[in-house]
Amino acid sequence: NRVGVGGHSYGAFMVANLLSHSNLFAAGIARSGAYNRTLTPFGFQSEERSYWEAPDVYYTMSPFMHADKMKTPLLLIHGEADNNSGTYPLQSKRYFNALKGLGATVRLVMLPKESHGYRAKESIMHLLWEQDEWLDKYVKNKSEPVQP
């Protein structure tokens, strides 16, 4: 109950899946991920089939499709100018909207003028601050449920 998980790019996708399908972690941080695989219809990682050849795989692998299962606080961070074809900023924005609409504890931080890898000192300092605050609140100082 005092372990957080984080990842960038494919790691962010894995974080979102871990949190949607388990209760092993107190909080998560996902940076510049792809959360809806139907938006990358011509394959991803080792999946070479297109969405039209394997729609069930794309649907099942997408954390977006399991947003209703998210019970763990999740911090999403994304560069506003991400030009990686699989991780356009739309991925984080739509995932955030779905999670927020379903009542999940979620925060979205968009880093101005940043692409898939963050370079500006201000952006890096900001994301480190956001991550520290998130982990302090939901991992280090996590409030325990009241026992009856």
Give the span between the Cα atoms of 36 and 121, in whole angstroms: 30
The catalytic position among 8, 20, 62, 82 is: 82
Place of tokens 């107190």: 26
The catalytic position among 8, 9, 20, 62 is 9
Q: For this structure, is 82 an active site residue? A: yes
Whether residue 116 lies in the annotated active site: yes
The two beta strands, 27-31 and 74-79, are: parallel
Residue whose structure tokens are 């999740």: 74
Tokens matching residue 142: 């996590």
Question: Among the options 8, 66, 78, 116, which is catalytic?
Answer: 116
Ranges of H-type helices in 22-89: 55-61
- Cα distance between residue 124 and residue 141, in whole Å: 24
Catalytic residues: 9, 82, 116
